[in-house]
Structure 1
Amino acid sequence: MVKLDGISSFVAIAEAGSISAAARRLHLSKSVVSERLAELEQHLGAPLFHRTTRKLSLTEDGSAFLERANRIVWEVQDAVAEVAERRGSLSGPMRLSAPVTFGRMHLGPALYPFLARHPGISLTLELDDRRIDAAAEGYDAVIRHGTVEDSRLVALPLAPSRRLLVAAPDYLARHGRPDSLAALRQHRAIYYTNRNVADWRFADVRQDVFVRPPAALRVNNGDMMRDAALAGLGLALLPSFIVGEELRAGKLVRLDIGHEAAQELIYVAHPEGRRASHKLRTLVSTLREHFGTPPYWDVV
């Protein structure tokens, strides 16, 4: 008989790309995961992976089996969640990814009381500013800031997000205050490297005619962008959830160039084809209520 733990291990290996990575994800030893895979292949009578010294890749049989295996794993997890829901409780593992700055500043304070109310949930939260492939890397969902670009994800909005063009008073005293798109060319900018070249997007402004300021700094973290702006290195286009306190304290100044930055979202996204679990739906409702409409940080 094919065992469920063998199927779960196979799915984890396929998503993680190696037995070692799957073992870390499952909190098991590499030898246990390897034995489960070998037993599954023996029962099926076919190898599921091509093995080389560098990587594993699915065989034709493995690719065909993966779709059904994924469905089996998720059906079992849904069944467990449904039983817990009938008992009036939420339980089981949940794995999320979120941006570093938003996670530290706003997600954590919303998550802690949620987890305290639902002690049966075991949450793994990984903060990372890079774009995560939720399905391939085995996440239940990812929390993102920006526009929904991945068609393989189902997005659940949490809150609108405004990005504001800001600079330190000291920088403006030295270099002047820009009041138009054209005036931006005379300044230097702090750019976020995890976005493409079109990061600075303004409503009703064609990207092919907008000339961006030269870079003073490119960095992949919002905290450092804010700190660089506070240090007077240049202009920064940052979400209000990062710079709200500095704007209220007068440490940064919002600039009006006659155009608003393009609207963005903070959202939860889960892989297409997977039904959002009751845990995830409850978490989304909790986050929406905590952030508010408009979100509490957007009072500048």
Structure 2
Amino acid sequence: MKIEGIATFVAVAEAGSLSEAARRLRLSKSVVSERLAELEKSVGASLIHRTTRKLSLTEDGAAFLERAVRIVREVEDATADLAARRGTLAGPLRLSAPVTFGRMHLGPALYPFLLQHPRIELTLDLDDRRVDAAAAGHDAVVRHGPIVDSRLVVWRLAPSQRVLVASPDYLARHGAPASIAELEKHRGIFYTNRGIADWRFPAPDGAVLVRARVGLRVNNGDMMRDAAVAGLGVALLPMFIVGAALRAGELRVIDVGAQPEPEFIFIAHTEGRRPSAKLRALADHLVTAFGKPPYWDEFASPQASRSSKSAPRSSSRPTGT
């Protein structure tokens, strides 16, 4: 029985199709099929049901998968740790990250890290949806916002200051809300991937929820910013998305006398799996690259700057929360 066959089986089970597994492994579909057939011959059992429409695990395949995943991950981690002991970080590293943050900030932070460690084989999937790290085959996910999956071990990378913004044109036409209550009279631009159409502000007896009239629901932060610049309504967005638009005068921060609930940029891996040396090194690198406070808050308004200073900061090394 070859480790390549076991790794191929795990990739097929996680991907849900031979074609997608072949893409992730950078192999031809025929090679994936051959490795899978050889593994099934070695274990003496059919592991996968194959039909023209879908692929599913057999009962034996489901029983074998749990241990197969551990075997593959242990081999990968052992190989990477040996390389780390020799002063070299190497091997595959699979990450998922949001589209806007990945394009604007994560990518530029990753490139020098990859140049410094050329033997790391990074696969980065940009997707704004919440993904199941283990099921999707990711070593870790980089995310912005609240932590909603208790199965994840989370390291904070940077605080994320969010601000209410609107265009000068919109504020000239509709006036600037001066309180939380006045926000409800305005059109809102909302992020659909969180499944809510309200804004939350901390209060002594719990969060205050504000439900503005919906002007747009969209699942991408770039489009939310652009819609706000176009004068469509008020948006609650992180500084890492709107900083440039604020500096250019395309957007203005709205002060309603209260700050939105604080959030964080974090990297998380599945609970129960020891993080590899390369993942720990990457997390440390990102903390340094983003800065404390993060560089995207440098040009925040006085209101945003005050909030950023009062928000909790991550330590110099990532710590689980």
Quickly name the TM-score band, shorter chain normalised. over 0.9
Aligned length: 298
Corresponding residue of 1:214: 213
Is 1:193 aligned with 2:192? yes
Structure 1 residues 198, 273: closer, same or farther in 2, change over 3 A? Answer: farther
Corresponding residue of 2:120: 121
Corresponding residue of 2:318: none
Corresponding residue of 1:13: 12
Deviations 1:90-133 (Å, cap 9, x if unpaired)?
11121211111111111111111111111111212122211222
Corresponding residue of 2:162: 163
TM-superposed CA distance for 1:137, in Å, is 1.2
Corresponding residue of 1:78: 77
In the alignment, is the contact (CA less than 8 A) between 2:15 and 2:21 conserved in 1? yes
Unaligned runs of 5+ in 2: 301-321
TM-superposed CA distance for 1:88, in Å, is 0.8
In the alignment, is the contact (CA less than 8 A) between 1:166 and 1:236 conserved in 2? yes
Taking structure 2 as the reference length, what is the TM-score of the superposition?
A: 0.88
Corresponding residue of 2:233: 234
Task: Report the secondary structure of 2:68's partner residue.
Answer: helix
Unaligned runs of 5+ in 1: none
Deviations 1:36-73 (Å, cap 9, x if unpaired)?
11111111111112333322222222122111111111
Structure 1 residues 121, 276: closer, same or farther in 2, change over 3 A? Answer: same
Provide the C-alpha distance between the structure 2 equivalents of 1:143 and 1:42, rounded to a whole number of angstroms: 39
Corresponding residue of 2:316: none
TM-superposed CA distance for 1:249, in Å, is 3.6
Task: Report the secondary structure of 2:269's partner residue.
Answer: strand
Corresponding residue of 1:4: 3
Provide the C-alpha distance between the structure 1 equivalents of 2:140 and 2:209, rounded to a whole number of angstroms: 35
Corresponding residue of 1:294: 293
Structure 1 residues 199, 129: closer, same or farther in 2, change over 3 A? Answer: farther
Deviations 1:200-249 (Å, cap 9, x if unpaired)?
22212856x73411111111111111111111111000001111222234
Corresponding residue of 1:283: 282
Provide the C-alpha distance between the structure 1 equivalents of 2:214 and 2:206, rounded to a whole number of angstroms: 20
Corresponding residue of 2:150: 151
Provide the C-alpha distance between the structure 2 equivalents of 1:30 and 1:249, rounded to a whole number of angstroms: 49
Corresponding residue of 2:42: 43
In the alignment, is the contact (CA less than 8 A) between 1:192 and 1:199 conserved in 2? no
Structure 1 residues 210, 199: closer, same or farther in 2, change over 3 A? Answer: closer
In the alignment, is the contact (CA less than 8 A) between 2:16 and 2:55 conserved in 1? yes
Corresponding residue of 1:257: 256
**Runs (4+) of structure 1 moved beyond 3 Å?**
none
Provide the C-alpha distance between the structure 2 equivalents of 1:281 and 1:41, rounded to a whole number of angstroms: 36
Provide the C-alpha distance between the structure 2 equivalents of 1:109 and 1:297, rounded to a whole number of angstroms: 13
Taking structure 1 as the reference length, what is the TM-score of the superposition?
A: 0.94
Provide the C-alpha distance between the structure 1 equivalents of 2:185 and 2:77, rounded to a whole number of angstroms: 56
Corresponding residue of 2:179: 180
Residue identity matched to 1:201 = R
Provide the C-alpha distance between the structure 2 equivalents of 1:273 and 1:155, rounded to a whole number of angstroms: 12
Provide the C-alpha distance between the structure 1 equivalents of 2:127 and 2:198, rounded to a whole number of angstroms: 18
In the alignment, is the contact (CA less than 8 A) between 1:181 and 1:210 conserved in 2? no
Deviations 1:134-182 (Å, cap 9, x if unpaired)?
1111111111011111122221111111111111111111101101222
Corresponding residue of 1:243: 242
Q: CA RMSD in A?
A: 1.6
Task: Report the secondary structure of 2:124's partner residue.
Answer: strand
In the alignment, is the contact (CA less than 8 A) between 1:190 and 1:216 conserved in 2? yes
Provide the C-alpha distance between the structure 1 equivalents of 2:149 and 2:53, rounded to a whole number of angstroms: 29
Provide the C-alpha distance between the structure 2 equivalents of 1:82 and 1:182, rounded to a whole number of angstroms: 55
Provide the C-alpha distance between the structure 1 equivalents of 2:3 and 2:253, rounded to a whole number of angstroms: 56
In the alignment, is the contact (CA less than 8 A) between 2:166 and 2:254 conserved in 1? yes
Provide the C-alpha distance between the structure 1 equivalents of 2:158 and 2:114, rounded to a whole number of angstroms: 21
Residue identity matched to 1:109 = P
